[in-house]
Amino acid sequence: MLWSFLLFLGAAPPLGVFANPLATKRWSDLVEKHSWAEIPRGWEYVRSPDPEHILEMRIGLKQNKINELISSLYQISDPKHDRYGKHLSKQEADALVAPHPDSAEAVESWLSDHGFKTDDITFRSGGGEWIVIPMTVSQAEAMLGAKYELYRHSLSSSYVVRTLSYSLPRELHNHINMVSPTTYFGTLRSMKATHFIQSNSFGEEKGFTLSPEAVPPSSCATQITPACLKVLYNTSGYVPQATDVNVLGIAGYLDEFANRADLQTFFTAFLPEAVGTSFDTITVNNGGDNQSDPGVEANLDIQYTEGMSFPTPNIYYSTGGSPPFNPDSETPTDTNEPYLDWLNFVLSQDTIPQTITTSYGDDEQTVPNDFAVSVCNLFAELGVRGTTVLFSSGDLGVGGGDCLTNDGTDTVLFQPDFPASCPFVTAVGGTVGINPEVAVDFSGGGFSRYFPTPDYQVEAVNSFLEGLGDTFSGLFNSSGRAYPDVAAQSENFIVIIGGEAFLVGGTSASSPTTAGVISLLNDFRLSNGQSSLGFINPLIYANPGGFNDIVSGSNPGCGTQGFSAGIGWDPVTGLGTPDFLKLQAIVSA
């Protein structure tokens, strides 16, 4: 969408040619948009940045009809509604998220007053609600009433140029959702990639074969392969048919590259019929594809999405945006918003994979509320267009570390994960063991403090809360969006990395596994002339019988034993692990 203000700005004189006193007064009435009480934990002040340091400023305008889009999402995702499965086209979704003309006019005037011209602006969304404008630190400070500093994340050695507070002209609070980079300190290098290497275990696994019994062999209790998962989740007998339409996507970050040679080694050992086939890589925002540098996360994801969904086409999105930052550089470009870049890229495409999995997350409290809501609404756009979005729920139970709040009060509270806490994604927790599966003790789960409990899960969550009683009273928001929604195996996954086999664990394993099952369900529907599933949460909460209920285990954290798994939904394993055959019967209606 091209705004009218392109012509307006194109005709504007350079900054300083003349000044409009009324316009200047209009934009000098600054009111705080967001601030932190203290430097976010894990970050330390380094020094003031060069005033000429370049920030790629992203401005998210309020979407004129976002409530209509969300209402459509719930109707389209409700199996009892007559709009069920009637997903919106790109053009229909773009029309709902486009900014109101008044918002466009206000931002036009503001940018013009600060001397920006047509060539300075890039549109990052089909609806025109996201724009990117490179500007210097000194320009950003003047526009936003902010003071930018250089900060370092001690554990990951990430550097960012951020401010502890920023403001907008009073009038623009009604027109702009967020501006970034400002107060969101998280970068993917400081976020939690939800995986960990358990051991190097190459050797015996290459000869691993699944016995013909209808239950997993005992070796699946200590070594997970695609064959184990197919038996556990009842997909063994299904052969995909809609491979000309159905696609499974993996969102990758952090210069994590999915290695094709390792995939062939994996296929040779565990899926011989797939040898010789591969996946597509799409690079976003200068993402790479270095085949000499295989990533643990990337290989885990692609080997198990391929292992579960073959021969369904897979796409690995390699998203840049977190380049090494040289704190001594005078004018490097700060581009640490890969979530926004990836989402805007995918939403700008005419076709999107029907299933997408991502395995990164951060403490919700470290994400400014305006940023979280804006990103969450982008996931709603994916859902309304027919895509199921899955996120791992995290590997820190109800919270890691001291669990102190960052609002200046240092209160101990359970710490939910974002984006798992977004109500428009399907969050996947973790299990371990077979016959029975139990909750793994690191499975992330809890209740959002940003998003309220959505209608689709009220009944299930209330039932859990009634059984919980006063336990952990005050430590979590009982009226918040609860997660995870479902779960899957999360330990002892055999992954080939650089030609060697490792055992890898984490809910990073659970999410691609579940994505593989959902992709097969999408294949089934598409091959029968039905639509893709899209946003599945209303469907699955209405049909909990499609899952294997996990009734034991807990997710300790914050100095507590955490929540306990039990009959029905719980904030450790959600509704349980998927049973493909039961779900197939449910989605065939």
Q: What is the pLDDT of residues 12-36, one digit of tens each?
A: 333 333 345 555 678 999 999 999 9
Quick one: 455 and 510 in the same domain? Answer: yes
Residue 408 pLDDT level (bands cut at 50, 70, 90): confident
Contacts 24+ apart (CB under 8 A), 63-67: 63/96, 63/97, 63/98, 63/99, 63/127, 63/129, 63/177, 63/377, 64/96, 64/97, 64/98, 64/99, 64/100, 64/103, 65/95, 65/96, 65/97, 65/98, 66/96, 66/97, 66/377, 66/380
DSSP 268-329: HHH-GGGTT---EEEEESS----TTSB-HHHHHHHHHHHHHHTTS-EEEEEE-------TT-
Position 469: which residue type?
A: G
- Residue where a domain terminates, one of 131, 157, 180: 180
Active site residue 102: no
Domain region containing 210: 192-325+335-587
Helix boundaries (H) for 435-533? 458-468, 507-527
The string of pLDDT tens digits covering residues 91-136 is 999 999 999 999 989 998 999 999 998 778 888 777 889 998 999 9
Q: Do 160 and 275 fall within a single domain? A: no
Q: What number is the average pLDDT over the span 414-422? A: 95
175, 196: one domain: no
Q: Judge whether 568 is annotated as a binding position.
A: yes
Do 152 and 121 share a structural domain? Answer: yes
Same domain, 430 and 558: yes
Same domain for 120 and 211, yes or no, is no
The Cα–Cα gap between 332 and 508 comes to 32
User: From the candidates 508, 511, 519, 554, which is the catalytic residue?
Assistant: 508
Tell me the sheet residues that pair with 316.
250, 281
Same domain, 24 and 172: yes
d(CA 347, CA 293): 29
d(C-alpha 404, C-alpha 489), whole Å: 30
Q: Write down the pLDDT at residue 113.
A: 92
213 and 356 within one domain: yes
Q: Is the pLDDT of residue 49 over 60?
A: yes
Give the model's pLDDT for residue 5. Answer: 39
CA dihedral 322, 326, 327, 328 (to 10 degrees): -160
Residue 381, CA distances (Å) to 59, 94, 297, 317 in order: 18, 9, 26, 18
Ranges of H-type helices in 166-283: 226-232, 260-270
Q: Is residue 227 domain-shared with residue 143, that is, in the same domain?
A: no
Give me the pLDDT at residue 122, please.
83
Mean pLDDT across 415-419: 94
313 belongs to a structural domain: yes
Mean pLDDT (whole number) for 325-336: 54
Cα distance between residue 62 and residue 130, in whole Å: 9
What mean pLDDT comes out for the span 291-302? 92
Residue 308 forms part of a structural domain: yes
Q: How much is the pLDDT for 492?
A: 95
290 in the same domain as 250: yes
- In this predicted structure, the answer to whether residue 542 has a pLDDT above a threshold of 90 is yes
How much is the average pLDDT of 297-318? 96
Closest CA to 305 of 539, 519, 78, 542: 519
pLDDT band at 388 (very low <50, low <70, confident <90, very high): very high
Q: How far is it, in rounded angstroms, from Cα 405 to Cα 556? A: 18
Q: Is 415 within 8 Å of 526 (Cβ atoms)?
A: no
**CA angle, 101 as apex, 60 and 24 as ends, to 5°?**
75
Q: Is residue 390 part of a domain?
A: yes
Which listed residue (255, 256, 297, 363) is catalytic?
Answer: 297
pLDDT value at residue 10: 36
User: Average model confidence (pLDDT) for the chain?
Assistant: 89
Tally of domains in the chain: 2
pLDDT in tens, 147-173: 999 998 888 777 889 999 999 999 999
Angle at 83 between CA 82 and CA 84, to 5 degrees: 90
Which of 196-205, 377-386, 538-547 has the weakest average pLDDT? 196-205
User: Model pTM?
Assistant: 0.91
What value, to the nearest 5°, has the Cα angle with vertex 456 and ends 455 and 462?
75
Q: What is the mean pLDDT of residues 270-276?
A: 97
pLDDT band at 303 (very low <50, low <70, confident <90, very high): very high
- The confidence band for 319, taking pLDDT boundaries of 50, 70 and 90, is confident
Residue with tokens 């490179």: 134
- The share of the chain scoring above pLDDT 90, in percent, equals 74
Span 357-376, pLDDT tens digits: 998 888 899 889 999 999 99
Of the residues 108, 256, 262, 301, which is catalytic? 301
pLDDT of 568 > 90? The answer is: yes
Does residue 40 lie within any of the structural domains? yes
Supply 298's token pair. 């990337």
In degrees and rounded to multiples of 5, residue 316 shows phi and psi of -105, 120
Q: What whole-number percentage of the chain has pLDDT above 70?
A: 88
- Residues 213-265 have pLDDT tens digits of 446 778 899 999 999 999 999 999 999 999 999 999 999 887 789 999 999 99
More confident residue, 321 or 11: 321
Of the residues 141, 156, 180, which one is the last residue of a structural domain? 180
Question: pLDDT value at position 285?
Answer: 82
Cα dihedral sign, 241-247-249-255: positive
Question: Is the pLDDT at 194 greater than 70, yes or no?
Answer: no
Do 274 and 417 fall within a single domain?
A: yes
**pLDDT exceeds 50 at position 202:** no
- Residue among 300, 311, 295, 274 nearest 488 (CA): 300
Q: How many other C-beta atoms can be found within 10 angstroms of the C-beta atom of residue 81?
A: 13
Q: Is residue 520 in some structural domain? A: yes
Which of 204-208, 233-237, 456-460, 526-530 is the least confident region? 204-208
SS3 of residue 168 by DSSP: strand
3-state helix, strand, coil in the chain (%, to 5): 30, 25, 45
301 catalytic residue (yes or no): yes
Mean pLDDT of 50-72: 94
| 148 in Cβ contact with 140 (< 8 Å) | yes
Give the amino acid at 279: F
Closest of 418, 343, 449, 366 to residue 58, by C-alpha: 343
The structure tokens listed for 315 are: 């796409």
The answer to whether residue 170 is domain-embedded is yes
Q: Are residues 258 and 149 in the same domain?
A: no
For residue 30, the cross-strand partners are: 169
| 579 labelled binding-site residue | no
pLDDT for residue 224: 96
Position 284 in a domain: yes
pLDDT at 18: 38
> What is the structure's pLDDT at 119?
79
CA distance 319 to 236: 33
The whole-number pLDDT of residue 190 equals: 44
Q: Are 400 and 415 in contact (CB under 8 A)?
A: yes
Is residue 301 within 8 Å of 358, Cβ to Cβ?
no
**Domain-located, residue 408:** yes
Looking at 180, 215, 241, the residue that finishes a domain is: 180
User: Which CATH number do you get for residue 421?
Assistant: 3.40.50.200
